[in-house]
Chain A
Amino acid sequence: MAWVNAVIQGILTGGLYALFACGLSLMFGVMKVVNLAHGDLATVAGYIGVGVIAATHMPFLWSVPVVVLAMAVLGYVLQRSMIQAAISRGELTTLIVTFGLSIVIENGLLQFFSADTRGVGVGDSIVSASFSIGSQIQIAWLNVVIFALAVVVLLGLQYFLSVSKYGRLIRAVADDREAAQLSGADYRHVFGIAAAVAFGTVALAGTAYGMTTVIDPTTGTDTILLFAFAAVVIGGLGSLWGTLIGGIILGVAQQIGAQINISYELLAGYIIFLAVLVIRPQGLTARRSES
């Protein structure tokens, strides 16, 4: 029963990892940008949430759209300025620039918020609410809600990309930037829209993480970025649903590792990550011919 519990908890954690990963995957798929500041931006979103609630005393649920919108605007602006400038100077430059951005954000947060941990305050009653299946399996409602949120976000992204005008343009620009220009599309603007969407998911990821546990200025790189990376690589670069599959596999591996020995939790996740890199480097869902 303990193993069943580990698998269930792992699957639910996979939803959170998919939230971490889908924005990273989108930015790589469209702009070919590996955003090393991805995790730190999620942390920033968490701090914005904390700040907005503290400053305005608005209910938590109201603060979520505010944070998502703020991060989307930040995403568009960062993409059109710093990241676009890096893209124009070659793919490696984007790594250096986003790495630099990561360092700046981390130290900025340390400066303004100190190294103390903080949580997005939703109240203990919500965080600890749970239900039981049998005597040994206890499931936190919050994890179920976050998993459902991840599925809704992925469905929304898929719908946006396949049906909307900008979704179509994003796919076209990802295919062939120059050909899109010849059709009158300013790819820099389309990149900005894609970044805004990706940062919107980052905002949700940071908020969700801040609800389940606590954040501090180093959470972004130490936890969120690494898990997002692992989920994206396991699932397949540039694949949206692959992030959920990758997230679930990572989550289950961690929980099973922890079941064997609590100190194996992280190790088990990275062993799966490395195994996928060796055996199936294109990821579980990606076709080899693509990219």
Chain B
Amino acid sequence: MSVGNDRVENHRAENGTPLLEIRDLVVHHGQLRALSGISLRVYPGEVYAIIGANGAGKSTLLRTISGLHHPSAGSIVYDGRDVTGMRPEKRATAGIVMVPEGRRLFPSLTLEENLKVGATYARTGPWTIQRVYDLFPWMKERRTQRTAQMSGGEQQSVAIGRALVANPRMLLLDELSLGLAPVIVQRIYGMLPQILASGVTVLLVEQDVSQALRVATHLQCLLEGNTTLEGRPSDVTAAEVEAAYFGMGSAAAVAHADQDEGGEG
């Protein structure tokens, strides 16, 4: 935890009660302890970024929030309700919707059918398939194509669209940048303001730290299942981030960090 954490928390609390609150979450993969007591609070309207290296537990955290993993301890409270034991599909219909790592589109379905599946159990809200087409205009004329033939960036956009038509309140984005060219990543993150404007709160996991710092209103860094840093991007220094990310405070790590991130993203 960073030193100024209490002040940050007080500032954020002005937004009201958290939309999502995680308390002391412990998750095991078999014998392996993937998360050792993670806590976080996401307030409405935030872009909350979880950063960390490979194996830090970021994706495990998101998958546990969406219900695909069961925690061995701790609790997940969403909109004032304890959802720790709730089935994943119930969480989705309650408004916690995840864009999973690797996009996970339905390959034998067309683009539009993918969106229709996303809309089948949708909450009422501003997002419709038509509005997704407005956000990504290229989709409309390719809606009858199967998504397997599409580029990685296009597939990622469809995955985002499929999540949006469910009208999430809490949108979980897992490694949007994975396997995509930097220019495509920029373009996809460029959609974020429009998504936020529709009243969606975002919790995202990102290996690409510079990308996360650019869009986040709040930041939390994981290392081997523990929180090593938390705060607003403006309140943490690059050196602190690098130390938290790699788990060491050496100057060398800071100096080489930029290239390393570029390579991983």
Question: CB of B156 within 8 A of chain A?
Answer: no
Chain B residues with Cβ below 8 Å from A168 are 109, 113, 116-117, 120
Q: Which of B100, B104, B105, B166 contacts A184 (CB 8 A)?
A: B166
Contact flag A184-B89 (CB < 8 Å), given A169-B117, A178-B68: yes
Query: Chain A nearest CB: distance from B202 CB in Å?
Result: 16
Contact A181 B108 (CB under 8 A): no
B122 touches A179 (CB 8 A): no
Given contacts A168-B113, A178-B100, A179-B100, contact A184 B120 (CB under 8 A): yes
Tell whether, in the assembled complex, residue A169 and residue B120 are in contact, meaning their CB atoms are under 8 Å apart: yes
How many residues belonging to B are interface residues under a CB distance threshold of 8 Å? 28
Q: Which of B103-119 contact A (CB under 8 A)?
A: 104-109, 113-114, 116-118
B148 to chain A, nearest CB (A): 10
- Residue B142 at the chain A interface, CB threshold 8 Å: no
List which A132-190 residues lie within 8 A (CB) of chain B. 165, 168-169, 171-172, 174-176, 178-187
- Among A178, A185, A186, the residue within 8 A (CB) of B117 is A185
B 141-165 binary contact with A (CB < 8 Å = 1; else 0): 0000000000000000000001100
Interface residue B178 (Cβ < 8 Å from any Cβ of A): no
Q: How far is the CB of A179 from chain B (nearest CB, A)?
A: 4
Interface status of B87 (Cβ within 8 A of chain A):
yes
- Given the interface contacts A179-B105, A183-B166, A184-B93, does A172 sit within 8 Å of B100 by beta carbon? no
A184 to B121, Cβ gap below 8 A? yes
Compute how far the CA of A172 lies from the CA of B68 in the bound complex, rounded to whole angstroms. 17
Which among A174, A175, A179, A183 is the interface contact of B121 at CB below 8 angstroms? Answer: A183
Q: How far is the CA of A184 from the CA of B122 in the complex (A)?
A: 8
- Decide if B47 is an interface residue (CB 8 Å cutoff): no
Q: Is B75 an interface residue (CB 8 A)?
A: no
Residues B94-108 near A (CB distance < 8 A): 97-98, 100, 104-108
Q: How far is the CA of A185 from the CA of B104 in the complex (A)?
A: 15
Given A172-B117, A184-B121, does the pair A179, B92 have CB atoms closer than 8 Å?
Answer: no
Q: Pull 20 A–B residue pairs with CB atoms less than 8 Å apart, ordered by A.
A: A165-B120, A168-B113, A171-B106, A172-B113, A175-B109, A176-B104, A178-B100, A181-B67, A181-B88, A181-B89, A181-B92, A182-B66, A182-B92, A183-B92, A183-B117, A183-B120, A184-B120, A185-B120, A186-B89, A187-B89
Interface residues of B (CB under 8 A from A): 66-68, 87-89, 92-93, 97-98, 100, 104-109, 113-114, 116-118, 120-122, 162-163, 166
